[in-house]
Copies of this chain bind each other. A is one copy, B any other.
Amino acid sequence: MPIEKFAPISRAACIGGGVIGGGWVARFLLAGIDVRLFDPHPDAERIVAEVLANAERAYGLLTSAPLPRRGRLSFCASVAEAVEGAQWVQESVPERLDLKRRVLAEIDAAAPAEALIGSSTSGLKPTDLQEGLTHPGRLFVAHPYNPVYLLPLVEIVGGAQTVPATVERAKAVLDAIGMKGVVIAREIEAFVGDRLLEALWREALWLIKDDICDVETLDDVIRYSFGLRWAQMGLFQTYRIAGGEAGMRHFLAQFGPCLQWPWTKLTDVVDLDDTLVEKIGAQSDAQAAGLSIRELERIRDENLVGIVQALKAGQSGEGWGAGKLLKEFEQRLWAQAGHTAPPVDMKAPLELVETRVSPAWIDYNGHMTEHRYLQVFGDATDALLRRIGVDLAYVEGGHSYYTVETHLRHLDEAKLGEGLVCTTQILATDEKRLHVFHRLHAGPERREIATGEHMLLHVDTSAGRATPAAAQVLSALDAIAAAHAGLERPAAAGRAIGHKARLATPA
């Protein structure tokens, strides 16, 4: 990867640790970046710990790629202490210009000269934030969306004094940790996303105030229609399709007159008085139907994870939008893991996959669905293959291992959210064949819940026939096979169906 496109950092400072600041902390830590945090609020440690717990849960569901070792988090007693040695400083203090200016001046005075300084402001113009700084060229707006640890977008907005290279570097740092840095060409208050949200929000308040609908109906209108569209294509791409073969210009020509219609009430600003606040509050309580904020957060995060994973399978497997972003991030992680894989004890079965039972894996009986066991075993086989040099480049070179036969035994059940570890033993190899035995362990007590025995053949993928593997692959394989030769052969290996087995997972 060219350094210009991805610029990983190893140390960040976060000033302010509320919902947004805490989200930044989680993003950085899970990307392997050490974070030094300053937040004088008495509840700061608790809030950050809660956000971080949510983020770790969500990442466990989001990806099975090898995330780097989590960064270290330090709570600091001052701005100056927090920004020491930081490559990126993120300011997320309350939305008041005077306060932000004071905090940014402190950051500017104490941070290393080359540190980037991003502000989480959702509306203030960077030019206004730069006033009075000694080194204003490195300050920019980096406006994220809640939950920061899952939503990829960061609007990057430079002010009058921001150096162009700052914007480029900021984008490269964000892109390196799997976020989507989007550069806004010209600064205006509230930038792009909040402008759009604000417009829609005002109209929504009128609809509620005038009793056209209640908040649940309004939310349903969004999430059963254009909300689904916008998770994958935005406004203009969607309308391009709506215009059909006649194209975008034709669509706009049709749409034009509507702008003169008296549809929206936007020329007036609704008065958000006590009556309206109480009305919305009561309707929102009814909509939540007893679910707490914590429960709603969990539901939201699981949904977002599922949506991003669905988009990862989009555009015929290449990924689309936020899913493509995840896929590319995972590919970089896999590539890095290939270069820095920690040494393992080769004399024991290899621990190649560690994962967690995702909600999407649970069937109508409340148990982990049958084929998800095979998914985990498949992931373990993939990890073994990468370890012996059968990586994407090898596959693109026209060779791969294909599974020809599988034998699964279900011994016990796995529960939602439970941690899983898969161990892999090589039973036999020759120049074309690879015979492996996986065991799946659940929970802290590592009870064995399933085994998978697999025969793989090395193939020339274009010719579609078996062929000997490359010398370096065979040599890597032989090294593991030799180390495993001393292991006891699993009693179940080579068994056919009909042997007695303990019972387990639902059909």
Does A419 touch B at the CB level, under 8 Å? Answer: no
A31 and B277 alpha carbons, distance in the complex (Å): 42
Task: Name the interface residues of A343-364: CB closer than 8 Å to any CB of B.
Answer: 359-360, 362-364
A183–chain B nearest beta-carbon distance, Å: 8
Number of copies: 2
A181–chain B nearest beta-carbon distance, Å: 10
Does A371 touch B at the CB level, under 8 Å? Answer: yes
A220–chain B nearest beta-carbon distance, Å: 5
A294 and B219 alpha carbons, distance in the complex (Å): 30
A88–chain B nearest beta-carbon distance, Å: 20
Does A272 touch B at the CB level, under 8 Å? Answer: yes
A6–chain B nearest beta-carbon distance, Å: 17
CB < 8 Å: which of B217, B224, B231, B366 contacts A223?
Answer: B231
Contacts of A210 in B (CB 8 A): 186, 188
A343 and B65 alpha carbons, distance in the complex (Å): 47
A186 and B210 alpha carbons, distance in the complex (Å): 9
A: contact size bracket: 35 or more
- Whether the pair B226, A207 counts as a contact (CB closer than 8 A) is no
Output the nearest chain B residue to A416 by Cβ-Cβ distance.
B316
Does A497 touch B at the CB level, under 8 Å? Answer: yes
- Whether the pair B317, A366 counts as a contact (CB closer than 8 A) is yes
A402 and B413 alpha carbons, distance in the complex (Å): 11
Does A189 touch B at the CB level, under 8 Å? Answer: yes
Does A429 touch B at the CB level, under 8 Å? Answer: no
Does A134 touch B at the CB level, under 8 Å? Answer: no
A78 and B363 alpha carbons, distance in the complex (Å): 49
- Whether the pair A237, B287 counts as a contact (CB closer than 8 A) is yes
Contacts of A232 in B (CB 8 A): 223, 227, 300, 303-304, 307
17 contacts between A and B (CB under 8 A): A123-B258, A182-B224, A185-B214, A232-B303, A232-B304, A236-B283, A317-B359, A317-B364, A364-B395, A365-B461, A370-B406, A403-B504, A403-B506, A405-B408, A406-B406, A406-B410, A408-B408
